[in-house]
A and B are shown apart, each in its own frame.
Chain A
Amino acid sequence: MKALLLKDTLAQKPNLMLGALYSLIFFVAFGLLDDAPSSSFVYVFSGVAVGFTMLLGSFKLDVNDTPRFMFSLPISRRTAVREKFVLLALGTMYGTLWAMLFGLVFMIPAIGWSTGAITGLDLLRIVSGMMLLSFFIPLYFRVGHTIIRYTLVIGMVLLVAGQIVGMLVLSFRQGPGGPIPFLDVIFGWMKGGGDLFRNLLIAGIGLGIAILSYAASQLIWRHRDI
């Protein structure tokens, strides 16, 4: 595990530096425009984005058949899977810490900008985001980093398309009894639970995805030729 983490951090020194920069840019771009709500977005986005960037960077290190060198060392396949999850968690923590640091700096009154402090709910959102994105790990073990890159591009397109479709769907929905009544039930149920409930629900879904991703990764990587 230590050797894998060392490999991922030593080979990703530029990403580590960028991690700090991301948080700063996000704060300047979003967190300082308003107060607490925007800061909250920056904390969550910085933590998750930096963790995910570290994970993608780790996938990308596989060019030139480098895993053949790594796995000629005494490192088990089981450990290799665990390391990806640990890396995602450490990267997320690293990004969050930078965001918190910049948040504290911008809270100094003399600077003249005001940001909100990170909240427990933000931390929950960060962990949820991290767990939701862990589904890329089995995908990587199954198809490799090149296809992951294409998947990301397609995913972004689908995300935008999904938002457009969603907005269209919502525009059709004119109050209770509209064309898609079951959505009202779902939205109503989620709204009724409050902010904490919604975030716990997402965290639960994230946890489910993370557990499935871990199990699938172990299964895939155990039988894969390197």
Chain B
Amino acid sequence: MNVLDVKNLVKSYKSSVALDGVSLRIDEGFVTGLVGPNGAGKTTLIKCILNLAQADSGRIQVFGMDHRRELEVRSRIGFVHESSYMFDQLNARETGTIARAAYGRWDEKTFAGYLERFELPERAKIKTYSKGMKVRLSLAVALSHEAELILMDEPSSGLDPLIRRELLEVIGEELAKENRTFLISTHITSDLDRIADHVVILDRGQIRLAVTRDELGDQYGLCRGGRELLAMATNGSFIGVQLNEFGFTALTPDREKIARRYGDQVVIERPTVEDLMVHALKEERS
């Protein structure tokens, strides 16, 4: 089932185009990683999905509904966000009280369970929380109302590895449940290597590349070889060529073809999401 369907989305601000014809489809039960450099348009896309920002043109459907049906759509979405969006004057319990009043399907036991698990003091004001604690509170709210689509906007930015690992563990547990779909926007790509089923690379408001985990592992390859190979290479064999003193590094969308053609003249490894992003963006900008 199609959870999110974005078509030709355009959003511009006074001086810049944030999204320039973005189209994206996310199916139920998958984790999609949205990666790109700062200012790529990742946050704007998430804001448009939530109708926090209004697109100039294009269409967004969430659960088959127009995203502007705010009540129906948002009641099925959980939003994990940067730490700064919380009310510093309130405590975790009060934040839960507000969320409970808004969500029809709020589960107080689940929320209390997450507060305990994340070691969040219920009565301490949020302004005394660390950044990691604030993100964990945001996660607790997002996961306590049986959300079917969880949108995460740079959740692990600025967090230590332990908390990031914990975040990934929770996502893993949630995925085991039915109907959970994740869209995770991040520029910390190592997190996505572990969990993402799909990777979408966004840059300057456009989707540059979209691959599945299987495609990344089976078809794409990170190639290293001597510079002389580049002269022999056909168009499109190598993406985002980086020259160095030993030769070159590049991404290929067809590792088997490259292996057949160059044999042991080239070393081919499984690329990480970061490799994918770096080379795809280099290609785009060269």
Contact = CB atoms under 8 A, between A and B. Distances in A.
Contacts of A75: 70-71, 74, 102
Contacts of A70: 98
Interface string B94-113: 10011101111000000000
A133 B234 CA distance: 71
B52 A71 contact: yes
A225 B47 contact: yes
Given A74-B75, A226-B47, A69 B85 contact: yes
B124 to A, nearest CB: 15
Given A72-B74, A226-B53, A6 B103 contact: no
Nearest to B13: A225
Interface in B65-108: 70-75, 77, 79, 81, 84-90, 94, 97-99, 101-104
B70 A74 contact: yes
Interface in B144-187: none
Contact of B103 (A10, A61, A73, A226): A73
B99 A3 contact: yes
Interface string A92-121: 000000000000000000000000000000
B23 interface: no
A166 B175 CA distance: 70
A76 interface: yes
A72 B141 CA distance: 11
Contacts of B75: 74
Contact of A69 (B87, B89, B104): B87
A6 B81 contact: no
B102 A73 contact: yes
Nearest to A69: B85
A7 interface: yes
A66 interface: yes
B54 interface: yes
B19 interface: no
Contacts of A2: 101-102
A73 to B, nearest CB: 4
B87 A3 contact: no
B70 A77 contact: yes
B50 A72 contact: yes
B81 A66 contact: no
Of residues B86, B90, B102, which shows the largest number of chain A Cβ atoms within 10 Å of its Cβ?
A: B102
A11 B51 CA distance: 25
Contacts of B70: 74-77
Contact of A11 (B52, B71, B77, B89): B89
Contacts of B99: 3, 73
B65 to A, nearest CB: 13
Interface string B43-56: 00001001111100
Contacts of A226: 47, 52-53
Most buried by A among B47, B75, B87: B87
B117 to A, nearest CB: 21
B54 A64 contact: no
8 contacts: A3-B101, A3-B102, A10-B98, A66-B85, A72-B81, A73-B74, A73-B103, A75-B74
Interface of B: 47, 50-54, 70-75, 77, 79, 81, 84-90, 94, 97-99, 101-104, 138
Interface of A: 2-3, 6-7, 10-11, 61, 64-66, 68-77, 223, 225-226
Given A2-B101, A61-B87, A65-B85, 9 more contacts: A64-B86, A64-B88, A66-B86, A69-B79, A69-B81, A72-B79, A72-B81, A74-B104, A75-B70
Which 10 pairs, one residue from A and one from B, show the smallest C-beta to C-beta distance? A72-B79, A3-B102, A73-B102, A3-B101, A74-B75, A69-B85, A74-B74, A226-B52, A225-B53, A2-B101
